[in-house]
Amino acid sequence: MGSSYSFACPGCAYAAEVSGGPDTGEARRTVTISCATCKALRDAVISRDPFKEPPDPIPKRPACPNARTRSHRTVVWSHPGPCPRCGAELVRGPLTVCWD
Ligand SMILES: [Zn+2]
Ligand SMILES: [Zn+2]
Give the separation between CA 33 and CA 68, rounded to whole angstroms. 16
pTM, whole model, 2 decimals?
A: 0.92
- Separation of CA 97 and ligand 2 centre (Å): 22
- Segment 37-66 shows an average pLDDT of 93
The residues spanned by each domain of the chain are: 2-99
Q: Which numbered ligand comes closest to the C-alpha of 64?
A: 2
* Strands 29-35 and 74-76, sheet pairing: antiparallel
Give the separation between CA 16 and CA 9, rounded to whole angstroms. 9
- Separation of CA 82 and ligand 2 centre (Å): 16
66-95 per-residue burial string, b: 16 or more CB within 10 A, e: under 16: eeeeeebebebbebebebbeeeeebeeeee
**β-sheet bridge partners, residue 91:** 8
Looking at residue 64, what is its pLDDT?
A: 96
Under a CB-based contact definition with an 8 Å cutoff, are residues 41 and 7 in contact? yes
- Segment 61-67 shows an average pLDDT of 94
- Separation of CA 55 and ligand 1 centre (Å): 33
- Separation of CA 10 and ligand 1 centre (Å): 7
Residue 1 has pLDDT above 90, yes or no: no
